[in-house]
Structure 1
């Protein structure tokens, strides 16, 4: 790294909120969206729970584990606007998507609808199911750049047919950071007899959720991203009338449990074998911790992050002389900016690695299917400052000079 680049990086004034996380102070971390980051206080709770487990494993799993899981589920249900009876914990949203897809029975005449913005891991799961069952994956082409959310709505509904059995849709797209008009889509699809599986990986903590109002058939979301719980914490929501059909990927003791105080849905998902459940148990602490950082609680936090990402996007678009690719109301706490044409033929991994190796900037570089071929995806969390995005703009300018 050149000396002048070191000065540019280390002269940044960090947010005082940064001290609440373990993040490397030498790195300009603008990629909260990929894996999240867990605050020190939440990690301390997890460490205490792990000690509690290891001090007396048998007592923990036979007496203490279930009340702790139930309490965490109850707090999470309140946060996402659902009944606790309709939620189970899973390690990540990809597991939630796979659990639903592997449980449903598809036939060769069935169509499964998704979009060209769908997360690669979940698209792979769709292709796997199609290869096993003969069902056809239909891809709605949502335009990008985008002029309005109405284009999302129209693009998806145009591909619905009498054979459409299920629609797998993002709530917030990973590649492009778009918020889909979910409630409107779910309602329209239900009226056409199409069930909905929502990949809400980025939504909890970024958006104010009310799963009762959304009324999707299935919804899965991560707690380790914008909710800032430890890694390995996510949830799967299944509408009550569909729960008997959905089984976990691992069949274990719950499959023949004689208990009647809980549904088979929860009994099967809650215990799939011995693992470390402490990430789930920390979800209430994460909700409480982030909700106490600002006077206005979660509402203020979400709005603050949204405003910061809009300001950062405007700054970067002006610095790189490109246009914003979508309206302000279609993004939450993540945004993508088209890379200048001079960089569009670069490999996205090489650009990402050069920004890190030369400038200590951690940011997501996204390859796109059409022009613009390369996007830089920024995230805005409470520990970020506008100066960090200015530094990113200067770094990309230096890449252009080369």
Structure 2
């Protein structure tokens, strides 16, 4: 993709931004639409929130449902995927001794939510350790299924892992676990807009995804999908007026989740605009967006592996979406790595070379890797500049 596509974003022109995966970046046209919606809201808040917002949210949910392959009535808007994970885990009931599986690649915030929910009910968290490097999707399936026992009740799994950028074989895991009576909560924070989704066909019990990352909606736009047969048993984290509403034109799931107190609904209302804007930037629409981003990071990985002397990639192409990891040589001092800790090389890349790219210790320091992202505004020159900077800083 050509550099002019960057003009659709308000990104700092002095920074080479290779970290779309962390918080996304919203195009200026979408932000302008959000400003117009906010002005409309504030011009008459009661009219907007009490009379106008419900059909607008219905329209936004319909557009999102069409994009992710789900019935609109099976989706609830969330401020972020972490809230979606917490909503499910706090709403389920487990017995002492029940087992909840996750992997050692699970996002820290979601793993924390799983630990808290399990501890409150006396359940046990079982962590499947994935091989690293990862030889194949089948190796992930084998590692998870090896932990399944008659006590297993739920799998919590990232669709695309945050630390390692692996596209996980969730469809195969959902299928095999359902055959054994085990449901799956998919933490799809990176899924929408990175990989094609067909949630209706996936069959997972629960799927939560962010719209502010690869869909490029404003911050605070996410969703939770709940399979229809499980909706009656799930309540939102915030119980509000919908709990005892006498309305019969909507399901209880809709009534419970559509209004959870006063908040700014404009991030959700901007989802259709984000879908239209991003999909309209290239001739092939969203399929081309996803394919282009994937090809960019695969090419960047090949080039950087060659420049860094890596004999082989950390995992196969089949497990790559719009992010990918590249192994770095060891050498920096080991330091504690709490959430959001910045590796010294991460800091130097930004401060000395104006390159924003995360450096992650994995599986633990001193082993580490770069996590590269690709969005339409990135160009091959961005990754070549990163290669130049690495050769200079690691020399």
TM-score (norm. length: structure 2): 0.96
1:46 Cα deviation after fit = 0.4
1:317 aligns with 2:305: yes
1:362 aligns with 2:353: no
Q: In structure 2, how many angstroms separate the alpha carbons of the residues matched to 1:138 and 1:261?
A: 42
1:394 Cα deviation after fit = 1.4
SS at match of 1:231: coil
Query: Is the Cα–Cα contact under 8 Å of residues 196 and 218 in structure 1 kept in the other structure?
Result: yes
Q: Which of residues 172, 176, 191 in structure 2 aligns to 1:203? A: 191
Q: In structure 2, how many angstroms separate the alpha carbons of the residues matched to 1:119 and 1:394?
A: 31
1:221 aligns with 2:209: yes
Match of 1:179 in 2: 167
SS at match of 1:391: helix
Q: Which of residues 120, 129, 133 in structure 1 aligns to 2:121? A: 133
Match of 1:44 in 2: 32
Deviations 1:336-391 (A, max 9, x none): 11111234747753221111111111111112124772111000001001111111
Q: Unmatched 5+ residue regions in structure 1? A: 1-12
1:375 aligns with 2:363: no
Q: In structure 1, how many angstroms separate the alpha carbons of the residues matched to 2:132 and 2:80?
A: 27
SS at match of 1:318: helix
SS at match of 2:315: coil
Query: Is the Cα–Cα contact under 8 Å of residues 338 and 372 in structure 1 kept in the other structure?
Result: no
TM-score (norm. length: structure 1): 0.94
Match of 1:6 in 2: none
Match of 2:258 in 1: 270
SS at match of 2:197: coil
Segment of structure 1 superposing worse, 370-379 or 226-235: 370-379
SS at match of 1:341: coil
Query: Is the Cα–Cα contact under 8 Å of residues 322 and 374 in structure 2 kept in the other structure?
Result: yes
Q: Which of residues 316, 322, 335 in structure 1 aligns to 2:324? A: 335
Q: In structure 1, how many angstroms separate the alpha carbons of the residues matched to 2:235 and 2:366?
A: 41
SS at match of 2:294: helix
Query: Is the Cα–Cα contact under 8 Å of residues 169 and 199 in structure 1 kept in the other structure?
Result: yes
Segment of structure 1 superposing worse, 45-54 or 350-359: 350-359
Match of 1:154 in 2: 142
Q: Which of residues 379, 390, 400 in structure 1 aligns to 2:384? A: 390
Q: Which of residues 312, 315, 322 in structure 2 aligns to 1:326? A: 315
Say if 1:371 and 1:351 are closer, same or farther in 2 by CA, change over 3 A: closer
1:313 Cα deviation after fit = 0.6
Match of 1:21 in 2: 9
1:307 aligns with 2:301: no
Match of 1:120 in 2: 108
Query: Is the Cα–Cα contact under 8 Å of residues 343 and 400 in structure 1 kept in the other structure?
Result: no
Q: In structure 2, how many angstroms separate the alpha carbons of the residues matched to 1:342 and 1:169?
A: 32
Q: In structure 1, how many angstroms separate the alpha carbons of the residues matched to 2:224 and 2:102?
A: 19
Q: Which of residues 152, 155, 177 in structure 2 aligns to 1:164? A: 152
1:34 Cα deviation after fit = 0.4
**Two-structure CA RMSD over aligned residues (Å):** 1.4
Q: Which of residues 75, 85, 88 in structure 1 aligns to 2:73? A: 85
Deviations 1:295-336 (A, max 9, x none): 111111111111000000111111111131011111101001
Count of aligned residue pairs for this structure pair: 389
